[in-house]
Amino acid sequence: MTTPDSVPAVALEPKTKLNGKILKITLAGALVDIGQSLPGVLHISQISDTSINKVEDVLQEGQEVTVWVKRVRKDRVELTMMEPLAYEWKELKPDMVVKGKVTRLESYGAFVDFGAERPGLIHVSELAHGYVKTAGDVVKEGDEVEAKVLDVDRRKRQIRLSIKALQELVDQEEAPEVEHKSRGKRKGKKQDETFEMEEDISNEPEYTAMQIAWQQALERANGKKNIRAKSIKGTSKEQENLYSSTLEKRLPTGG
């Protein structure tokens, strides 16, 4: 990205891409016109990632070059001709989401270049949910993928990524709906249990008129005042009185 000339040098951010022209070559590097109020300084170590003995072997005065801002000082803008990394080690944190390209496949996983110093590894167990035999079953070289940073080990210079972790985020968003459905099922089950209890109560056997009369006679004979009455099915009140009168004459009253 080329920064307009009107933008003050102090407002330039590191990694900003600029077009410039070599004004002067020195033993330590070169002065570059980047269209800013402050001069651009390109150190010899920032010209190429390979060793350079003389600046003249690579650059010439008046040459157009592409540079990136390394840092902004009070009196100069330090530049580099080596494209900076999208992510420095100190910028990499777990749970970051990055985008990159699959550059190499192994049976145990896939390596993804996402602009860091080292490619990140997506282990086969982190490529997708379920069993994955080899990385090639899910991705191929050149695929653009999005992954979540699981772990960064700067000492070992290792970066572990996961595609499956992003798929889990989608599952979690759907979880409340599933939970709501399960609550509905539990409620229905409770209602069924209540219904079954009501059926059990309603199925309690009812006494006939003869059984009720016999029970009442026995309770009176034993001097009990509380008499339990049950509903009578298919029997008239006259029949009940007849049974009660008959039993009272035949049974002792306890007097």
Backbone angles phi, psi at 104, to 5 degrees: -155, 140
Asked if residue 187 has pLDDT above 50, the reply is no
Same domain for 35 and 74, yes or no, is: yes
Q: Compute CA 194 distance to the chain's CA centroid, rounded to the nearest angstrom.
A: 39
Give the model confidence (pLDDT) of 212-240 as tens digits: 666 776 666 666 544 444 444 444 555 66
Same domain for 75 and 93, yes or no, is: no
Give the model confidence (pLDDT) of 18-38 as tens digits: 999 999 999 999 999 999 989
Residues 6+ apart with CB under 8 A from 246: 213
Same domain for 107 and 144, yes or no, is: yes
Which of 135, 166, 197 is a domain's end point? 166
The tokens for 1 are: 């990205």
Mean pLDDT across 90-115? 96
| Proportion of the chain above pLDDT 90, given as a percent | 57
Q: Give pLDDT, residue 7.
A: 60
Average pLDDT of the chain? Answer: 78
Q: What pLDDT band is residue 117 in, cutting at 50, 70 and 90?
A: very high
Which of 138, 166, 194 is a domain's end point? 166
Q: What pLDDT band is residue 11 in, cutting at 50, 70 and 90?
A: confident
How many structural domains comprise the chain? Answer: 3
Same domain for 64 and 96, yes or no, is: no
Give the model confidence (pLDDT) of 128-143 as tens digits: 999 999 999 999 999 9
Domain at 41, CATH number? 2.40.50.140
Q: Give pLDDT, residue 239.
A: 60
Return the ∠ at Cα 77 (arms to 76 and 80), rounded to 5°: 135
Classify residue 199: in a domain, yes or no. no
Q: State which residues form the domain around 66.
A: 9-80
Which of 56, 80, 104 is a domain's end point? 80
Same domain for 96 and 39, yes or no, is: no
Backbone angles phi, psi at 159, to 5 degrees: -130, 120
Q: Give pLDDT, residue 9.
A: 62
Q: Give pLDDT, residue 167.
A: 87
Same domain for 72 and 93, yes or no, is: no
Classify residue 172: in a domain, yes or no. no
Q: Give pLDDT, residue 207.
A: 57
Q: Residue 101 forms beta bridges with which residues?
A: 113, 144
CA 125 – CA 168 distance, rounded (Å): 13
Give the model confidence (pLDDT) of 35-44 as tens digits: 998 999 999 9
Same domain for 95 and 65, yes or no, is: no
Q: Give pLDDT, residue 233.
A: 46
Classify residue 75: in a domain, yes or no. yes
Mean pLDDT across 60-74? 95
Classify residue 231: in a domain, yes or no. yes
Same domain for 74 and 95, yes or no, is: no
Same domain for 156 and 94, yes or no, is: yes
Query: When comparing pLDDT for 172 and 70, which is higher?
Result: 70
Same domain for 117 and 76, yes or no, is: no
Same domain for 63 and 98, yes or no, is: no
